[in-house]
Amino acid sequence: MIIIDHALKRAIERGASEEEIKQVLLNGTTVPIQEGRKAKEMVFDFNRNWQGKYYLQKKVKVVYIEENDEIVAITVYVYYGKWR
């Protein structure tokens, strides 16, 4: 599993950690994305403030490709709210 610098920077900017990226890639739910790429997402309990607002959960979505039998995370999106 490879996490490129861009993906890690976006994750940190958006409130996700490297460990969460790994958890999503290993255990997340596959979601539809544009042709040629893949994505998985996972909901985490959050229970704290993000940018001045309180959220119960966050959803981390990792966009990746498979290259030479290796998973390469290319970007990360983080959404805040409640899903379950």
Per-residue pLDDT at 84 exceeds 80 = no
Segments forming the whole domain that contains residue 46: 2-81
Query: What is the number of domains present in the chain?
Result: 1
Mean pLDDT, all residues of the chain: 94
Does the global pTM surpass 0.85? yes
| Helix/strand/coil for 21 | helix
pLDDT digits (tens, 9 = 90+) for 25-83: 999 999 988 888 899 999 999 999 999 999 999 999 999 999 899 999 999 999 999 99
53-79 core/surface letters (b: 16 or more CB in 10 A; e: else):
eebeebbbbbbbeeeeeebbbbbbebe
Residue 65 contacts residue 36 (beta carbons within 8 Å): yes
